[in-house]
């Protein structure tokens, strides 16, 4: 098990998350894709920590922070989804174009 294996898994995870965030019509789905990308990044962090600086704990610590931030972010995101649903009566991303120039 080398660093490359971890990075490959992390890349795959990230691309899946990106694909999901780009293609899902439901906002909830998009949020889930974003969560996947977060975790791909976390995986990277701990992998780099493990292989490049085995003595240090920075990578793991930042991964823990990121998880906390992701949890907070998903709370805000879900709250926004709720708010959008209440005003627009939909959670389909393509129906929401309030930012149109």
Partner 1 sequence: MLEQVHWIPLIPLLASLAILFGGKEGPHSKMPLLGVAAMGWCLLQSSWILFHALTGRYALPYYHTIPWFSYGDYVMTLGVLIDGPAVVMLFVVTLVSFLVQLYSLGYMHGDPRLKRYYAFLSFFTAAMLGLVVSSNLFVFFACWELVGVSSYLLIGFWFEKPGPAYASKKAFITTKLGDLGFFIGLMILYTQAGTLDLSMLAERAKLGIEYLPLEVATAVGICFLIGAAGKSAQVPLFIWLPDAMEGPTPVSALIHAATMVAAGIYLVARTYFIYDAAPLAMGAVAWVGLFTALLAATMAVVAYDIKRVLAFSTISQLGYMMLGLGVYGYTAGLFHLTTHAFFKALLFLGAGSVIHAVHTNDMREMGGLSKRMPATFLTMAIGTLAISGFPFLSGWYSKEAILHAVYLHNPMMWLVALGTAGLTTFYMFRLVYLTFLGQSRDHHRWDHAHESPPVMTVPLWTLAALSIGSGFLLEHEGLFAKLVSFESGHGGGHEAAHAPVWLGAAAVAVFAAGLAAAHRLYGRGDLSLAKSLRERFALAADALEARYYFDDFFLWLVSLSDRLAAAMHWFDDQIVDAIFVDGWALVTRAVAEAHRFFDDFVVDGAVDGVGAVTRDGGGVLHRLVRGQVQEYLMYVALAMCLFTIILTTR
Q: Can you tell me the distance from the alpha carbon of 30 to that of 45, in angstroms, rounded to the nearest whole number?
A: 23
Question: Taking CB under 8 A as the rule, does residue 83 contact partner 1?
Answer: no
Question: Taking CB under 8 A as the rule, does residue 96 contact partner 1?
Answer: yes
Question: Taking CB under 8 A as the rule, does residue 7 contact partner 1?
Answer: no
Question: Taking CB under 8 A as the rule, does residue 22 contact partner 1?
Answer: yes
CB of residue 41 to partner 1, shortest distance in Å: 13
CB of residue 55 to partner 1, shortest distance in Å: 29
CB of residue 57 to partner 1, shortest distance in Å: 28
CA–centroid distance for 15 within its chain? 11
Distances from the Cα of 18 to the Cαs of 8, 13, 67, in angstroms?
Answer: 15, 9, 18
Question: Taking CB under 8 A as the rule, does residue 54 contact partner 1?
Answer: no
Q: For residues 39 and 20, is the Cβ–Cβ distance under 8 A?
A: no
Question: Taking CB under 8 A as the rule, does residue 18 contact partner 1?
Answer: yes
Select from 41, 35, 37, 73 the least CA-distant residue to 59. 41
Q: Which residues contact 37 (CB under 8 A, 6 or more apart)?
A: 13, 14, 17, 18, 21
Question: Taking CB under 8 A as the rule, does residue 101 contact partner 1?
Answer: yes
Q: Which residues in this chain contact partner 1 in the complex, by CB under 8 A?
A: 18, 21-23, 30, 93-94, 96-101
């Amino acid at each position: 098990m080398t660093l490359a294996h971890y990075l490959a898994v992390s890349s795959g995870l990230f691309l899946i998350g990106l694909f999901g965030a780009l293609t899902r019509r439901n906002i909830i789905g998009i949020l889930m894709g974003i969560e996947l990308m977060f975790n791909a990044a976390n995986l990277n962090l701990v992998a780099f920590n493990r292989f490049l600086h085995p003595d240090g704990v920075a990578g793991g610590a930042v991964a823990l922070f990121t998880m906390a931030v992701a949890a907070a972010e998903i709370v805000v995101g879900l709250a926004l989804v709720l708010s959008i649903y209440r005003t627009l009566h939909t959670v389909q991303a393509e129906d929401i174009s309030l930012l149109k120039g």
